[in-house]
Structure 1
Amino acid sequence: MAVDADGVVGCSSSSSSSTKRRKYHVFLSFRGEDTRTGFIDHLYTSLQCKGLRTFRDEEGLERGQYINPSLLQAIDESRSAIVVLSPGYASSTWCLDELQKILHSKKELGLQIFPIFHSVDPSDVRKQNGSFAEAFKNHEKRFTEDKMKVQRWRDALEEVASISGWDSRNK
């Protein structure tokens, strides 16, 4: 495996042509605590090996930090997004803000979205049951002054869960 000057991992002798319109082929949205080591590492490497320039946030955000504007820009510079919905995804306000941006880019820029339901039932995401219900109880307590923000997050999860995707429980 070799890395070229642009940081693209090459796994075969064939080279992929770069996208002129967009900087990235794929933007990965995921909850780092749930999936960064293991699943995301394998997915990222597999995408790179197929010649797909893939953006993943290498930095974990700490409490109180805002999403880096370059992260939001990377969404707009991507042709598609893989949203990995895991048990802790909805507990992260950053993931939920990122998801809203992804859905906005779908509408405005034609971004394609591919959800992966990682150790969660798609209907739990859509209906916000299980860990998603617990996360929203906490958000509603925390954001009592901005109930619309919480509702937008709920709507975003319902929308992404309505897109046909992959359920990791089915291997």
Structure 2
Amino acid sequence: MDLVRTTQVTSSYSNSRRGYHYDVFLSFRGEDTRKTFTDHLYTALKSAGYRTFRDDDELETGEGIKSGLKQAIQMSRTSVIVFSKDYASSRWCLNELVEIVDHKRTSSDHVVIPVFYDVDPSHVRKQTGSFAEAFARHRKTEPPDMMERWRKALEEVADLAGKVLQNQAYG
């Protein structure tokens, strides 16, 4: 799997000496990809020997990012973000993304790899298509400063080199 080989570059022999508990932190919208692509990616990473964090807990609507999740992001060498059609409809995913981007900004060696799973990278970058629809819904309930943080995080990560996977049946 190409993404696993890409991640190998980021896995460091000195992870434990630098305080990393995980090689990879997976960020994804569970309803979209948990039982397909993300499950396959997680299995491939684990099989290749990467310590990989994947949050499997059911998340409560409206809940802020859990401190344990924030710590897992900070204790990871790499974050792989799987952008899917409904990624931006989840406040949780967007808050997690902001946390990842904040960590990338404060940790010079944190690597972020975006995966665009059946979504065009320009839709993520410019918040068009399903991302525009999700932001229109969020606008009704979310403060403008949070919306701006989400927008900037999406733009920043969409500008990174990543993997575009279009029309991938069953992961």
Q: What TM-score, normalized to structure 1?
A: 0.86
Conserved in 1, the CA contact under 8 Å of 2:118 and 2:167? no
Deviation string 1:63-114 (CA, Å, 9 cap, x unpaired) is 1323221001000000000000001111111111111110111111131000
1:38 is displaced (CA, Å) by 1.2
Q: Which consecutive aligned stretches of 4+ in structure 1 deviate over 6 angstroms post-superposition?
A: none
1:102-113 alignment, distance < 5 Å: 102-110=100-108, 111-113=110-112
1:19 to 12, 15, 22: 15
1:1-150 alignment, distance < 5 Å: 19-20=15-16, 21=18, 22-110=20-108, 111-143=110-142, 146-150=143-147
Return the index of the structure with the highest Cα Rg: 1
User: Comparing both chains, which one has the higher relative contact order based on Cα–Cα distances under 8 Å and sequence gaps of 6 or more?
Assistant: 2
Q: Which runs of 5+ in 1 are unaligned?
A: 1-15
Q: What TM-score, normalized to structure 2?
A: 0.86
Number of aligned pairs? 154
In structure 2, what residue type is equivalent to 1:154? Answer: R
CA distance in 2, matches of 1:140, 1:158: 18
Q: Which runs of 5+ in 2 are unaligned?
A: 1-11
In structure 2, what residue type is equivalent to 1:19? Answer: N
1:160 matches 2:157: yes
Q: Report the aligned-residue RMSD.
A: 1.6
3-state SS of paired residue (2:63): coil
Conserved in 2, the CA contact under 8 Å of 1:84 and 1:118? yes
Percent identity between the aligned chains?
53
